[in-house]
């Protein structure tokens, strides 16, 4: 239903709506609202803030600056994306190459030392500890073997 | 005849230009220009507020509040949009805020409604209703409906706003506007049917 149509349809609701749309409530005293509004505005001494208003002349400059900033931020995003892709690609290539290279056990050991953060000066000391440990383990095994043999032999 | 129509178009264009100038001067902070804007728009603003609030004093207060808001937020007005749409949106929102606060006394009698309905039904299409009759009739039609249905019905069917305007004022999607309007009309039709059937039985 369109109240603007002004047609008198048979539907009672349409007739009512048309009548209500046509009959505007009348404002009898037309001075009251403007007077009260102006009083309130005057009392408040509240001039409209012009801070957000931009003169029409400056608008193209603002629009240009806005677009420039948008373009810059999009370019930065693309740049970071490309850089990230390149880094990941390089790391993958490096890993592939590393996997393809045959590594000597000694090199492996040295690499493990380097990764563990050992310094060259501490190497002899570390080796000594390792050597003692191995010797201890050997002695342990030997004593185990001897006791077993004793048990087995009548 | 042609001369008259050209004159009419020219007058309308001049009025529109004057109004545009008044709006521009108001935007620059000119209080006198703003007063003439209030003078120009107070009647349609009052009509809208009255149809939502169904109370003359409340409607006047809502219009006053709306114009004060317009003045203090002039810097937010988008010049590319019609001033009237922006103003009516503010007035409608002020009225809706008020309608939620006020408690109405149920003082409408069925007799009064029947008289008004009879006048509309039997008299010529140009029947004039006074403010009280309008208020009573709108309140009767909208009573018992949920708030959203009431507002959609008043704004769409009585005020004659289009869907886009109602959507902006109430902030609800088109589908919800349509369904609310459908249910509101259905309930009101049922209510009217009851009254008419009672009348038929009395006859």
Closest among A30, A25, A46, A49 to B36, alpha carbons compared: A30
Domain boundaries of chain B, sorted by first residue: 1-106, 107-203
What would the DSSP string read from start to end of B121-142? Answer: HHS-TT----HHHHHHHHHHHH
Torsion-angle region of A64 (φ positive above 0: left; ψ -120 to 50: alpha; else: beta):
alpha
B125 touches chain A (CB under 8 A): yes
Out of 1.10.10.10, 1.10.645.10, 1.10.1740.10, 1.20.200.10, the CATH code matching B1-106 is: 1.10.1740.10
Residue B140: is its pLDDT beyond 60? yes
Chain A residues whose CB is inside 8 A of the B43 CB are 24, 27, 30
Answer yes or no: same fold for B1-106 and B107-203: no
Out of 1.10.3720.10, 1.20.1250.20, 1.10.10.10, 3.30.360.10, the CATH code matching B107-203 is: 1.10.10.10
Domain boundaries of chain A, sorted by first residue: 59-101, 123-154
CB B155 within 8 A of CB B165: yes
Q: Read off the pLDDT of residues B100-123 as tens digits, 9 standing for 90 and up.
A: 887 666 567 777 778 878 777 776
> Smallest Cβ distance to B43: which of A8, A27, A48?
A27
**So what's the pLDDT on residue A90?**
95
> Smallest Cβ distance to A16: which of B39, B64, B120?
B120
A19 touches chain B (CB under 8 A): yes
Tokens of B61: 């207060």
Chain A residues whose CB is inside 8 A of the B158 CB are 3, 17, 20-21
Residue A12: is its pLDDT beyond 60? yes
DSSP A47: P
- Please answer yes or no on whether B68 and A25 come within 8 Å at the CB atom: no
Q: Read off the pLDDT of residues A44-77 as tens digits, 9 standing for 90 and up.
A: 654 444 555 556 666 788 889 999 999 999 999 9
What is the C-alpha separation between B50 and B26, in angstroms, rounded? 26
Find which of A42-56, B59-73, B189-203 is predicted with most confidence, using mean pLDDT: B59-73
**So what's the pLDDT on residue A154?**
57
Tokens of B174: 């088109």
- Please answer yes or no on whether B42 and A30 come within 8 Å at the CB atom: yes
A61 touches chain B (CB under 8 A): no
CB B78 within 8 A of CB B86: yes
Q: Read off the pLDDT of residues B27-58 as tens digits, 9 standing for 90 and up.
A: 888 888 999 999 999 999 999 999 999 999 99
- Please answer yes or no on whether B75 and A48 come within 8 Å at the CB atom: yes
B116 touches chain A (CB under 8 A): no
């Amino acid at each position: 239903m369109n109240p603007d149509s002004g047609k008198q349809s048979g539907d009672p609701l349409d007739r009512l709506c048309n009548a209500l749309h046509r009959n505007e409530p009348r404002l009898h005293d037309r001075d009251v609202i403007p007077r009260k509004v102006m009083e309130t505005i005057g009392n408040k001494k509240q001039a409209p803030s012009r801070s957000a208003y931009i003169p029409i002349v400056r608008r193209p400059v603002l629009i240009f600056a806005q677009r420039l900033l948008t373009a810059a931020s999009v370019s930065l995003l693309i740049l970071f994306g490309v850089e990230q892709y390149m880094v990941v690609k390089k790391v993958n290539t490096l890993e592939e190459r590393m996997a393809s290279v045959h590594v000597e056990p000694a090199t492996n050991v040295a690499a493990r030392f380097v990764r563990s953060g050992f310094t060259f000066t501490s190497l002899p000391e570390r080796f000594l500890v390792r050597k003692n440990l191995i010797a201890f383990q050997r002695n342990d095994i030997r004593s185990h073997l001897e006791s077993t043999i004793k048990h087995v032999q009548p | 005849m042609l001369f008259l129509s050209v004159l009419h178009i020219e007058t309308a264009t001049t009025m529109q230009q004057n109004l545009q100038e008044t709006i521009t001067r108001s935007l620059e902070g000119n209080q006198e220009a703003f007063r003439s804007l209030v003078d120009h728009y107070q009647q349609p603003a009052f009509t809208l507020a009255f149809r939502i609030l169904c109370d003359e004093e409340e409607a006047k207060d809502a219009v006053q509040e709306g114009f004060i808001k317009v003045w203090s937020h002039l810097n937010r007005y988008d010049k590319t949009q019609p001033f009237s749409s922006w103003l009516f949106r503010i007035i409608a929102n002020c009225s809706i805020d008020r309608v939620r606060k006020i408690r109405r006394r149920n003082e409408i009698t069925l007799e009064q409604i029947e008289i008004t309905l009879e006048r509309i039904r039997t008299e010529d299409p140009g029947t004039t209703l006074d403010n009280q009759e309008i208020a009573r009739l709108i309140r009767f039609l909208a009573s018992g409906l949920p708030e959203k249905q009431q507002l959609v019905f008043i704004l769409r069917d009585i005020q004659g706003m289009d869907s886009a305007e109602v959507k902006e004022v109430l902030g609800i999607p088109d589908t919800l506007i349509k369904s609310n309007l459908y249910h509101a009309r259905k309930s009101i039709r049922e209510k009217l049917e009851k009254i008419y059937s009672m009348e038929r039985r009395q006859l």
